[in-house]
Chain A
Amino acid sequence: MSFIVNLAYFAAAILFIIGLKQMASPVTARRGIIWAGWGMVIATVVTFLHPQVIGFVNYLLIIAGIGIGGGLAWYTGKRVPMTDMPQMIALYNGMGGGAAAGIGIVALMGSYSMSWTIQFIAVAGVIIGSVAFSGSLIAFGKLQGLIKKSLRFDMQQKINLGVLGATVLLGIIIAFSGAEVNGTLLFLFVLLALAFGVLMTIPIGGADMPVVISLYNALTGLAVGLKGLVLDNAALMIAGIVVGAAGTLLTQLMAKAMNRPLTNVLFSSFGETPSGDQEEVSGSMKEIEASDAGVMMAFANKVIIVPGYGMAVAQAQHKIWELTQLLQERDVQVKFAIHPVAGRMPGHMNVLLAEAGVPYDVIYDLDEINNEFKTADVAVVIGANDVVNPVARSNPESPIYGMPILNADEAKNVIVIKRGKGAGFSGVENHLFYADNTRMLYGDGQKVAGQLISSIKEMG
C-alpha cells in the first residue's frame, strides 16, 4: 500500500513541476494547469490508502471537509468577476497557509513523540502558515474594500517586533517540551502568530498589495514544505519548496519593478510623507471633451494605451478593445503599455486585456515600449496614476522617487481618462496631469470609452 502511495506522490511531484514549467509560456500555459490538476487528483485519491489514515469517523470527516471546502471554493471561483481575481488568489492562498498551520497544530497536539528537530520544524511551520493565513485574509479584506484604511499607530514597528519575539519565544518553549505540549501555551502561541500576520499587513497600502500577496504565497509554499518534513511526505516537501522558491523570486521581481527593496514595502509605509514637503505643482489641469479626444486619436499615426487599476474597476477592457479595433481599421497603430505593477497584481492588466480579446502581441512591457512614447502622437492613460508620474524621475523627495515609470509624458499628446481629481494610491500629486500636453477626460472608464467609440464612428 505504502508503495502505491509513494509512487503516486512521485508522479504528482513530476506533474506539478512539468505543469509549472508549461505555465511559464503562453502557448502551453493551459495544458500546464491541467497537468498539475491531474497531479493533485492522483495525490488526493491515493491518500485515502495512506497507512496513517485510520478510523471510520476520520474518513467521513475527510470526505465532508473536502466537500465543504472544495464546493465553496468551486462556487466562488467560478462566479468571481475577473477584476476581483487578486483578492481571490489572496484568499485561497491564505486558506492554504491556514491548512499548513493546522497540520502543525494537530501534530503538536499528538501524544506520539517527535525528534526535537522535527518538533522545531513543526513549530516554524505553524508560525509561517499562521502569518500567511491572517496576513492573506487582511490583504483580501483590503482589496475587496472591506478594510479601507491603512492602520498606522505610534511605536507600530516596536509592537510588531515584540509580538513576533513573543511568538518565537513561545514557539521555542513548545519545540522543546517534548510529547506533552501544554494546550494553553499552544493556543496562545497560535493566537500570537495570527496576530502578527494581521499587524504586519494592516499598515501596508493597497499599492503594495501585489508584492505582499506574492510574499504570502511564497510563505505558504515554505510552510507546506516544512509540513512535508513533519509528516514525512515527499509530495508536500517538493511542491511546497518549489512554490516557496518560485514565489520568492516572483516577489523579488515585483519589488524590483517598483524599485523598492522588499524591506521597504514591509516596514515603511507608502504615502507616509506628508504632502507638505512636495514641490508646488505649476500649471493647471485642462479638460477635454470625449469627441475632441476621439478626433485626436482617429487622426493619429500611433497611439499608446496605458491601462491601470481604474480600467479594472470600470470594467472598461472590452470597450477599450473595441476602440482599439476601430482605430486599427483607420490604420492607426495601437500599442498597449503595461507597467509591471499596474493594477493589483503583476500581469493583472494582461489578464484583463486577454479577457477582452486583445492579442498579446500588441501588449508591451515597460522596457520594450518606453522609448516609443517619443514617437507616439497620443498616449491614453486610463485609470493609471502613479506608474506614469514623472515625479518618480525628477523629485528625490517624493516617496515614489526612483520607481521606473512609463514615460507617457514624452508623447506629443496625453489624454488621461480618470474618474475624479484625486491623487493616486501613493497619495502623491501627479505632475503629468498638469503638463501642457496633457488633457483630462473625466468620467467612468467604460462610459468614456463608449463615448470615444461613438465619436470615432460618427466620423465614418
Chain B
Amino acid sequence: MIEGFVALYIFMLAAFTGYEVISKVPVILHTPLMSGSNFIHGIVLVGTMVALGQSETGLQQLVGFVAVILAAGNAVGGYVVTERMLEMFKSSKGAK
C-alpha cells in the first residue's frame, strides 16, 4: 500500500523529473514531445484494466469497458502518431 507521505514523495520526485526532462527541449521537438507525453499517460490503460477487472455490477462493467476503450485509444493512437512524426526526423537527418 502506497500511502501518505510515501505517495507525496513519489509525486514530488516524479514532478521534478517531468520538469527537468522537458526544460532542455528545443522548440523543434515540442509537438512530438507533447504527443509523446500524451502517449505516456496512456498508461491509464493499466488503471482501467484493474478498474474493470474488479467491477461487480453491470453498470460498473459498462463504465469500465468504455474506459478501457478510451484508454486503449489514448495509448495506441498516441504511439502511432508520435512514431510517425519522429520517423520524419530520421529521414531529415539522413538527407543532411
Contact = CB atoms under 8 A, between A and B. Distances in A.
Contact of B30 (A91, A248, A347): A347
A62 B51 CA distance: 10
**B interface, by DSSP: helix, strand, loop or mixed?**
helix
A345 B34 contact: yes
A48 B50 CA distance: 9
A143 interface: no
Contacts of B17: 17, 242, 245
Contacts of B10: 234, 237-238, 241
A86 to B, nearest CB: 8
Contacts of B21: 17, 20-21, 24, 242, 246
A32 B86 CA distance: 9
Contacts of B65: 61, 64-65
A350 B31 contact: yes
Contact of A351 (B31, B45, B51): B31
A107 to B, nearest CB: 7
A69 B14 CA distance: 28
A340 B11 CA distance: 30
Contacts of B66: 65, 98, 102
A228 B43 CA distance: 10
Contacts of B39: 33, 36-37, 40
Interface string B28-41: 11111111111111
B52 A52 contact: no
B86 A246 contact: no
A250 B74 contact: no
Nearest to A213: B34
Interface in A30-59: 30, 32-34, 36-37, 39-40, 43-44, 47-48, 50, 52-55, 57-59
A40 B44 CA distance: 10
A65 B64 CA distance: 9
Given A23-B36, A26-B26, A109-B63, A85 B81 contact: yes
A99 B71 contact: yes
A119 interface: no
A239 B41 contact: yes
A29 interface: yes
Contacts of A95: 70-71, 73-74, 77
Q: For A68, A78, A102, which residue has the most chain B Cβ atoms within 10 angstroms?
A: A102
Contact of B77 (A65, A77, A229): A77
A70 B75 contact: yes
B96 A29 contact: no
A36 to B, nearest CB: 6
Nearest to B82: A33
Contacts of A224: 41, 43-44, 47
A163 interface: no
Contacts of A9: 46
Contacts of A254: 30
B41 to A, nearest CB: 5
A234 B61 contact: no
Contact of B51 (A106, A346, A354): A106
A263 interface: no
A105 to B, nearest CB: 5
Nearest to B80: A77
A58 B61 contact: yes
Given A44-B45, A233-B47, A37 B87 contact: no
A338 interface: yes
A103 interface: yes
B73 A73 contact: yes
Contacts of A100: 44, 47
B38 A32 contact: no
B22 A249 contact: yes
Given A37-B79, A89-B34, A238-B10, A360 B89 contact: yes
B67 A99 contact: yes
Nearest to B25: A24
B42 A96 contact: yes
Contact of B31 (A96, A105, A345, A357): A345
B57 to A, nearest CB: 7
A383 to B, nearest CB: 17
A294 interface: no
Given A24-B22, A348-B31, A76 B77 contact: yes
B76 to A, nearest CB: 4
A358 interface: yes
B33 A93 contact: no
A61 B61 contact: yes
A413 B17 CA distance: 46
Given A91-B77, A92-B78, A354-B92, 4 more contacts: A33-B39, A88-B81, A95-B74, A350-B28
Interface of B: 1-2, 7, 10-11, 14-19, 21-57, 59-61, 63-93, 95-96
9 contacts: A24-B25, A37-B39, A66-B68, A69-B76, A70-B75, A92-B74, A96-B74, A103-B51, A106-B52
